[in-house]
Amino acid sequence: MSKKDVAPVLEELSKEYNFQETPEFIKTLQHLWSEIMRIINDLLRHFRPIQGPTDTSALSDLLQIGLIIAGCISVGLLIFLAVNRINKAKKLSNAAFKGAEEVEELLDSAGWRRRAEELKERKDWNKACRALYLSILYLLDEKSVLSYTPTRSNYEYWYALASRKEIQASFRALADRVDLIWFGEYTAGDDDYQTCQELSKLIEHETNRK
């Protein structure tokens, strides 16, 4: 009986097969789960049935298994929280270092400082801190230290201040604080506003010196 050459058929099938490589994150989870199951199986194999109320060794085995199970649940919860946090971070990644893309009003530096005080009185701390930050951006533009552009990132502003070290550090601290408040799902308070105000005054003082 002659054997049919199946090589052409296999080659044609291989062309049509769209192989998708398993993501590294899934591989890591699979490996972690395998290790957890291996540890549990090892413990179960060495488990000795309880023979009486004085069998402390068997009781110890039970406690160890209970701890392992609790640990597995904790690891699973941590993985879930980590994945959830990563997804949130991805949503914020495009906005995390943006300067001020959405400026509702055309105010100068003094105008934004007044607005910050108004928002402070209403205890709207998030917007108040952002208003202080905008007042500094406009101040630096008015003093020709750097050029304000709404789509410019905080990193670009910080880099542009390389020749003004006395301003650069305070600006970075202020920008990082406002980024956390405005983009990081963080609710600011009076202490955050005081910090932003102090940093703003330092920047304003150093800017007006030259």
Q: What does the pLDDT read at residue 52? A: 47
For residue 200, give the nearest of 99, 108, 95, 112 by alpha carbon: 112
Task: Give the whole-angstrom CA distance, residue 143 versus residue 137.
Answer: 10
Residue type, 106: L
- Per residue in 125-162, pLDDT (tens digit) is 999 999 999 999 999 999 999 888 888 888 888 888 88
Are 48 and 57 a contacting pair, CB within 8 Å? yes
Arithmetic mean of pLDDT over the chain: 75
Taking the chain, what is the end-to-end CA distance rounded to the nearest angstrom?
98
Tokens describing residue 93:
């990644």
Alpha carbon separation from 81 to 50, 75, 84, 180, 184 (Å, rounded): 38, 10, 5, 19, 16
DSSP tally for the chain: helices H, then strands E? 8, 0
User: pTM of this prediction?
Assistant: 0.52
- Per residue in 68-98, pLDDT (tens digit) is 777 778 777 778 777 776 665 555 444 444 4
Query: Could you say which DSSP state residue 17 is in?
Result: -
Alpha carbon separation from 123 to 27, 118, 128, 177 (Å, rounded): 48, 9, 8, 17
Q: What does the pLDDT read at residue 107? A: 83
User: In sequence order, which residues have a C-beta less than 8 Å from that of residue 186 and are 6 or more positions away?
Assistant: 180
